[in-house]
Every structure is written in structure tokens, then in C-alpha cells.
Structure 1
């Protein structure tokens, strides 16, 4: 590790993607400082166990993005020049009942971070967006040139707003920023509120699973290692400085470019678990999207992004991880 190079700041470092990114940065010799508020959106113990397993040598500060003074003190202490911003209040359905959490974290918190990046000389901000931004405006495959002005949830609206905010700071202040639209990321140590873990745990335990829109859904499931490769590639390739009035801001899809039928997704879990799922078919939920599919041509051309993992290879690892981690608690 080169101690003369300022550390990379990773926000949301105890989160699913964040902890994996921290591990990958450390593996290649980077100094890393993490930030996380360890909130109770899901069990904080899972976050602490995740950090202990994936990045035990990373200094992770317990800090909320809305703490402007604490955040400023951290920037002054560490003098970051590269930031990977993954912290956010996540979840589509949760945003229907807890809207203020999204405003506080995803909007106010992001402004606080942008201001510090602007004033403290950060050279590149890579930040998380979401495939949810496409909403009702786009048709598969979703490309970065399609409109994102018809979100289906407040969560999606805040992520679309983040992209506008990032663009604005690039245009006004020359802050180099890259937005990354993640498509349904899964893998070991994943989020317990998402289908890969929800369904795996339920099938292992013999509990029923809710299958929305009567199973007529398709998702672009993307393996965590493929996502991490994309995040690091984006961090390593900041946008060029403002040229001919074009601000130094870019947006990339990071997805598998292979939508999977929900029924097939469940069948893969069933085979890995060695038992059939008890399926309860239900209507479409507010805020959900029927299909997601990433057009990854732009990320491939600019970053060399090339996802390699199919769900037939990845999901069994998730099932085995659930069996090992949750055991009787599955």
C-alpha cells in the first residue's frame, strides 16, 4: 500500500456493494476509509458481520451523511481526492412508507457530499444510481440516452435527482462525476430485503414466497463481482475535463444485459436448495417495474465492462451462503 496517496473514501462501506468495493480496493493495494451510519433498515449485525468477513482492515467511521460538521471534519482529516459514494436509503417499497428517510439520505446527504467534493478538491466522484430511474419512460434494453422522467417510486425519483445534481456540479464547478446505474445486484452478503436472499432463505426454511405480478416479471440480475469490476473501472476512468461546453459528467449502466424470468429465477433457487418453493401469487406491487434490462454498450466501450456470471452460477452460491450464515434462522 502506498501511504503517500490519499485514501479512497467509500460511503455506505458496510453495505452489500460497499463492503465488496472496499475489499477490492484493498486487494489492489489502495488505502481506504469507509463511512456508514449502520442504520436499522435491516439488521445492523449483518452489516457488522459483513465488514468483519470482507474488509476487516478498513477503517469505517460511523457517520451519517446529514452530519455536515462530522463529514467536513472527515474530509479535512483525510484529504480525499477520490470518492465512491454508495450510501443511500435503498428499497422501492420502503419509500412508500418512509419518504423522509429518502429525502434526508439521498437528497440532503448527497448535497452535503457534493459540496465537500467541490470545496475540498476531490478529483473524481463515482456515485451509485439505479436501474429504477428508468421507470415508465424507457423500453428494454434500457440505454443511458433514454428519458428518466417518469419514476415509479420516490426512491427512483431521488436517484434520478442525484444524476441531475451530479451533472449540475460538473457543469457549474467542473467536478468530475460518474453515475452508475446498478441493475439488481446479488451475491453472498447481499441485502436481505431483495429477492435473491428473501427467496433463498424462505425456500431453505420451507416458508412461502410472495410472487408478484403473478410471476410475469423479468429482472437483469447482476453478480456482485461483475458490479465491483465496473465500479473500480469507473473510478479509474474519470470523465475528461469540460471540453466544448460538455461538463465532466457521465452515466453508465452496470447490468448483466440478460433479463431473467422470475419463474426461472425461482427454479434455480429450488434446485440449489434441494426443495420446491411454496409460491403465493400476488398482483403487481406499487413502485415495481415489470422488466429491467441494461444496454451495457457504453460501459463496455468506455470502461471495458463485461459481466461474466449467469444466475445458474451465481444463485447457488447465494443459497449456500444463506445456509451457512443463517443456518436455522433461514
Structure 2
């Protein structure tokens, strides 16, 4: 009797809703899933699902079995991770997701140091600007920039990231001089699609009061690099984490707009699924990234 395997199969079946979908995800024939379900119900002496031609619906007993088996499988996974940590230490695979632009410009150095320090680690990176579902897609952790929405994920702040506001020399010649942040209100702006309000600029005045200006959207994109490149060609104001604008600012393709204004900072977090035991290899990577970013200058 393989109770853990039965539980895992039932978890997939409950999530996918059909025997054929569960079989596809598990890589087995539908008849194998059906036989395992029937054997499980026979062994427990109770019906776990109600079958129909289109889907399967959990019975109250099925709902209870689903919840309890999920907890038990988490405990089994945690126990196995503890045993692996004792025998292997910082070794094994890690799947990590991170924002594309940030990953390209900010992660090579800390990951190089981490992998050299832990050669038994196998790291798989997924760089994209949309937020992955860590549990469903099987990631160990993700790096996220900005305000975190409510969730069950565990989060650790790694560092603060300063914002900058930039525009091309040609744009500032046409619309300038810009001497106060209030003058930005209504100007053409480039907006990052994944930001909650990328067209709104907030700042803190010297007296502690808050200011706000709203740009007129001229271009929206889900990648910061293309927005910075088009801002450098004169298409509008662009406000973003400073690392996005750094190349154009350093080359003079963008000029900082009101750099002495108290533009807001955002945060870089590491997030991971709730667990009773975070694997040593994942904890080591989080700690390594935290040490690296905490030692960098803020500007």
C-alpha cells in the first residue's frame, strides 16, 4: 500500500477536476488514475468523489481527505528535506524566478559568487516580468520588486531600490525648464504596465508633505528596458527603479529630472511558499542575496 502516492494522485485529481487531466499531468494512462482512485475508496470504505460525464465533484469526505492529505504530504516533504540537508548540506536543485530587467543587470554578480561558493547547487532561473505562481509552477522562491499583495507567501526584504525620473535632452528642451515636480502633471509619460499606477508620480516635500502629479500616457509596455529606450528617444517622462535608467543616464541619453526631489523608494523581496522546513540550499541563496544587496550603495 502506497498511501503517500495515493494522496499525491488525489491532490492532482482534485485540482484538475477530471481523470484525463490528472492522468496527463501525472504522465500515466487515465485507466491507471481510475484504478488508483477506486482502490483508495475501497480501502477507505467511503466515496471521495461523485462522477459525472463532464467532471468530478468532491464529496464532504473527499474534501476532508484532500485537506488532511495535503498537510500530511507537506510534512513528508519537510521530513525528506531535513534528511537531505543533513546528508548533503547546501546542494541540489533550486528553481528561482526574477524580473527580467533586474535579473539581467543585478543578478549575475551575486549568483556567480553563490554558485562558486556552492558548486553542488543546480540553479534554474526564470526571468519574466509577470508574477509566477510559485506553488503551481514548482518554484522554490522568487524575487519581486514593489508592494507585495496579500498572500500566504513568506517574504524577506532584501534591500530598498531608489527611483529615478528621466527624460531625454530633446524632451526637456521642448517642455522645460522643469523646476518643480508639480510641472510634471499632464506631461507625456511612459508607463510600466505591471505597476499599479505607473502614470502617477509621488514625492515627499522638504516639509514632509506629500505631492502628486499624473502623467498623460503616451506608451504602455510590460518591460522597463523598452520604455527607457523610448524615453531616450524623446517620447516622454519615465519614472522607474534607478537600475532601469542607469545605462541611459550614464550615457547622457536621459537626464535626471529633479534629482533632489524625494522620489519614493521601492523594495526588493524574496518570497517563497509557506513550508515547515525551508531547504538549506534555498535558505543559503536567500541569505547570500540579502548580504550582497545590503552591501550595495543605495544610489
- Pick the TM interval, shorter chain: under 0.3
- Structure with higher Rg: it is 2
TM-score by length of 2: 0.25
TM-score by length of 1: 0.23
